[in-house]
Every structure is written in C-alpha cells, then in structure tokens.
C-alpha cells in the first residue's frame, strides 16, 4: 500500500512491470480472502 510498483518490480527482479502487477494483484486478493476467513472479529456474533 503506497509503495511504488517500480520499486517492487526491482525488488522482485521482474523485467516486465506486467508480471509485477499480476503478483501484486494476486497477493492483494489473497490477503483479503485470508482476512475475511481468519480474522478473529469475524467470529463475534451479536444477538
């Protein structure tokens, strides 16, 4: 969040920015899915 994608590209060693975009998109979606499934607040139920 807020990190320049070109920095991430260099960090991962990708020659194409498109490859970096694929990885960052998948990572973001995966993180969201994990939070929805595993976050402790999701187990709180109010009557």
pTM of the model: 0.50
Domain regions of the chain by residue span: 5-39
Task: Name the phi and psi angles at 9, rounded to 5.
Answer: -60, -45
The tokens 């973001």 sit on which residue? 28
- Which tens digits make up the pLDDT trace of 31-45? 788 888 888 877 777
Q: What is the pLDDT of residue 13?
A: 93
- Which tens digits make up the pLDDT trace of 7-27? 889 989 999 999 888 877 777
Q: What is the pLDDT of residue 39?
A: 82
Q: What is the pLDDT of residue 1?
A: 60
Q: What is the pLDDT of residue 38?
A: 83
């Amino acid at each position: 969040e807020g990190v320049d994608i070109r920095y991430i590209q260099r960090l991962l060693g990708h020659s194409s920015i498109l490859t970096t975009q694929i990885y960052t998109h998948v990572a973001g979606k995966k993180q969201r899915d994990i939070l929805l499934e595993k976050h402790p607040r999701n187990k709180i139920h109010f009557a």
